[in-house]
Structure formats: C-alpha cells, structure tokens
Amino acid sequence: MAGTGKAHLRNTDDVLLRVEDLVVEFPVGRTGLKVNAVSGISFDVLKGETLGIVGESGCGKSTTGRAIMQLPSPTSGSIVFDGTNLTALSGEAMREARTKIQMIFQDPISSLNPRRNVRDIVLEPLSIWNRGTKAEQLATVDKILEHVGIDPERAAESKPHQFSGGQCQRISIARSLVLNPQMIICDEPVSALDVSVQAQVVNLLEDLKKEFGLTLIFIAHDLAVVKNISDRIAVMYLGKICEVSSSEDLYRNPAHPYTDVLLSSIPVPDPTVAVKKVSVEGEPPSPVSPPAGCRFNTRCPNASDRCRSEEPTLREIEPGHFVACHHPLFGGEAPVTVRNS
C-alpha cells in the first residue's frame, strides 16, 4: 500500500486543508537510522467535514496530526490550509497561523499545566494574542467553560488535578475553542477516558462542531469511535494510507485486507456474534526498516510477488472510495503501472 497517489484528493472550493506527499522522518539517536513515521501521504479535508484517521501504533497518525501544526515541521511535503502553504511560513507567521488550527491531546491531565488555575489556562490563548480587554477575555472564557460543562467559578480557583479526566478533556477543548479556530485536530482525545465519559466527550465534540462551524480531524485507534464521529476515514498503516472512504462504506465494504483485519479484530459487545478467528499473524514491522513494496505484505493473507516488489497507489474502486492495494477485496486487481521511481 502506498500513500503515493492522489486520486482521492478533491479540487472543490471548500477544501480547507490539503496535504500532499507528507514525509516525516525522525533520526534514531545517533545510529544514523531513521524512523519513517510518515512516508508520503496525501489527503484533504473539506470545510465542515470530520476526517477520521485510524490505525494502530506506529502507523504515523499522531505524527501526521502534529506535522500539520508543524510541531515539528515535516521532513518534506506541502500542507496548504485555507490557501496558505504552512510549510513555507516563517516562525512568526506560523505562530499566527496556529490560531486557526488548534489541537487536543490524548492525556487529559498532562495537557494542562499542573501549576496553573484552569481559568488561566483557558485564558492563555487570548492573553497571548491580546484579543480584547481583560474583562472581555474573561467573559469569553467563562462563556466557553460553561459551554463545555465546567463551572467557571470553580475553574477560577482550581488546578487541573482537582478535576476528573473527562473534565480535563473538556477544559482542553475549551482552550482550543477560545481563539475561534477553523479546524481542530483531535489526537486520541478519548482513549484515556472511561467508556461512559468517552461518550460524553464525543457528543460534546459533535455539538461544538455544529455550533462553531468547525472542521475536525479525529485521530484514534478505536475504529468504532472514529466511525461514529467521522464523515470520512483514512486508514493508515506503517506510515502510509491504505484506504480512504466514507465511514459507512468503510464499514460495509472494506476493500483493503488490513481494514478488514482491523474490523474483524474489534471485539463486538454482543455474545451472539461469533468471535472471528484472527487472520493476521505477528505485529507491524518496525518503521525503521519498513518492508519493500506494499508495507502490509509481510502480514497480508493475500500477498503476492507483486505486493512484495511494487508499491500500490490509491485508486478509486467506487465513488468516493479509494484503496491502495493490488488485490483488494473488491474492485478488481490494480492495473499494471509503468514503473517510474
């Protein structure tokens, strides 16, 4: 599977974010090796859409989210947000651009400075950018805190550790809303929360999205949660995108063997549904030395010689549904392409 291939990119006016050929590599200490966290992926997000990015550990989904924010800057690739190429921006300009894209992180408690009052934490963005008078800033903060279900008075005199995980996540969400961003990148925002609290946060995000007209990128490893909140899903494996489609289509007609494996591995909370036998062995190879050809070939039940040597590119197999595989579960074999390295 490859991230190369841009067949799935759209060219309409309402594309808010367009990422092309994103590559992020990290050096491994001083060994000279590098971690190929993200190896040339492209995707786009329309205004008002929720794009889910799903995959297991080492697939590069979190790195992708952070790369969009240039935290740190990607090794190569272009990231165009609302017409501006973020990778070309200087430090100061990038700092400003960041006010339009905000991020929420996985660990709710660690995302907040343990030494500061919650209200100050949420006030911080307004303070940095001098938006309005102090009184106006406080009013905005209080309003948003109430919106996410946190009592502003308590927030004024309490520190993060006095709140629960779910509440801390709401506080993070409030902080990200305060600058009125256009897009929020959610990096595993509910993975560290109890099941019943997850539902609260997911619902909250949906509500806020509608109310504030947000565009969301939702990164997670739990496909059920991602499917619930996303319009469109990109499945990543070892630094590449293997399938992109609408949430419903992905579930009903998975085309990539890996997507199929993911879906069948998820334990279903229904004892009448038989547990499927695991069809994939082993674990993802190391991103330091990814396999040649299709990166999933070492574990794919359908791997052929072609898969071991030639990297597949994303192609459309039904409207809006793209897969990077030589032998997808439906849609026919990939046409032989002229090799152009």
Partner 1 sequence: MSTNPNPVTPTNSDETIVKKKLGVGFWLCVAWLGLMAFIALFTPLLPLKSPTQNFLDTANGRPPYSPSWKHWFGTDKDARDVFARTLHGARISLAVGFAAISAGFLVGGTVGVISGYFKGWIDRVSSFVFIVLLSFPSLVLAILLTSLIERSLLTISLVLGLLSIAPVGRLARAATLQFADREFVLAARQIGATNRRIIIKEILPNVAIPMSSLALLGMAVAVVAEGGLSFLGLSVEKGITWGGLIQLGSESSKTLEEAPWIAFFPILMLFLTVLSLNFAGDRVRNYFDVKETTL
Partner 2 sequence: MNPPDVVRSEAEPLVETVEIKTHFKTPRGIARAVDGISIQIRRGQSLGVVGESGSGKTVLSRSIMGLLPRNGVIREGSVRYQGQEIGNRSSKEMRAIWGREMAMIFQDPMTSLNPVMKVGKQITESLRLHLGMSASEAMTIAEKLFRDVRIPEPTRRLNQYPHELSGGMRQRVMIAIALACGPNMLFADEPTTALDVTVQAQILELISEQKRDRNMSLLLVTHNLGVVAGYTDEIAVMYGGKIVEKAPTKTLFADTKMPYTEALLRSIPRLDQPSHSRLATIPGRPPDIVHPPKGCRFAPRCAYVRELCLNEEPELQQASTPDHTYRCFYPVGSPEYLERKVELTRKGEFVSTGDMS
Residue 87 vs residues 184, 300, 313: alpha-carbon distances, Å? 18, 35, 24
The mark string for 159-188 relative to partner 2 (x by CB under 8 A, - otherwise) is -----xxxx---------------------
Q: By rule CB under 8 A, what count of residues binds partner 1? A: 46
Kindly state whether residue 103 participates in binding partner 1, applying the rule CB under 8 A.
yes
If the CB atoms of residues 92 and 281 are measured against partner 2, the closer one turns out to be: 281
Residue with tokens 């929720």: 50
Residue with tokens 């990290």: 26
The mark string for 130-159 relative to partner 1 (x by CB under 8 A, - otherwise) is ------------------------x---x-
Q: Which stretch binds partner 2 (CB under 8 A): 94-102, 125-133, 229-237, 305-313?
A: 229-237
Among 29, 91, 282, 319, binds partner 2 (CB under 8 A): 282
> Residue 42: which of 69, 74, 5 has the closest Cα?
5
How many CB atoms within 10 Å of residue 161?
A: 9
Token reading at 258? 């890996």
109 binds, among partner 2, partner 1, none (CB under 5 to 8 A by kind): partner 1
Kindly state whether residue 269 participates in binding partner 2, applying the rule CB under 8 A.
yes
Q: How far apart are CA 169 and CA 191, in angstroms?
A: 11
Please report how many Cα atoms fall inside a 13 Å half-sphere around the Cα of residue 330, on the Cβ side: 10
CB of 195 to partner 1, least distance (A): 7
Kindly state whether residue 129 participates in binding partner 1, applying the rule CB under 8 A.
yes
* 28-57: contacts with partner 1 (CB under 8 A): 56-57
Kindly state whether residue 57 participates in binding partner 2, applying the rule CB under 8 A.
yes
Among 53, 112, 255, 307, binds partner 1 (CB under 8 A): 112
Among 25, 231, 304, 306, binds partner 2 (CB under 8 A): 231
Kindly state whether residue 147 participates in binding partner 2, applying the rule CB under 8 A.
no
User: What order of strands is seen across the sheet that includes strand 315-318?
Assistant: 101-104, 183-187, 215-220, 50-54, 232-237, 240-246, 321-323, 315-318
The mark string for 185-224 relative to partner 2 (x by CB under 8 A, - otherwise) is ---------xxxxxxx-xx--x--------------xxxx
| 240-246 vs 15-27, strand pairing mode | unpaired
Kindly state whether residue 62 participates in binding partner 2, applying the rule CB under 8 A.
no
SS3 content of the chain, % helix, strand, coil (to 5): 35, 20, 45
Specify the amino acid at residue 314: L
Kindly state whether residue 128 participates in binding partner 1, applying the rule CB under 8 A.
yes
Question: At CB < 8 A and 24+ separation, what contacts does 250-256 make?
Answer: 250/321, 251/227, 253/318, 253/321, 253/329, 253/330, 254/329, 255/317, 255/321, 255/323, 255/325, 255/328, 255/329, 255/330, 255/331, 256/1, 256/296, 256/323, 256/324, 256/325, 256/328, 256/329
Kindly state whether residue 309 participates in binding partner 2, applying the rule CB under 8 A.
no
Kindly state whether residue 114 participates in binding partner 1, applying the rule CB under 8 A.
yes
Q: How far apart are CA 214 and CA 197, in angstroms?
A: 22
Specify the amino acid at residue 220: A
230 binds, among partner 1, partner 2, none (CB under 5 to 8 A by kind): partner 2
> Residue 218: which of 63, 104, 98, 95 has the closest Cα?
104
Q: Which residues bind partner 2 (CB under 8 A)?
A: 56-57, 164-167, 194-200, 202-203, 206, 221-225, 227-231, 247-248, 251, 261-273, 275, 277-278, 280-284
Q: Which residues bind partner 1 (CB under 8 A)?
A: 56-57, 66, 69, 71, 95-96, 98-99, 101-103, 105-107, 109-116, 124-125, 128-129, 154, 158, 161-165, 172, 175-176, 179, 188, 191-195, 198, 221
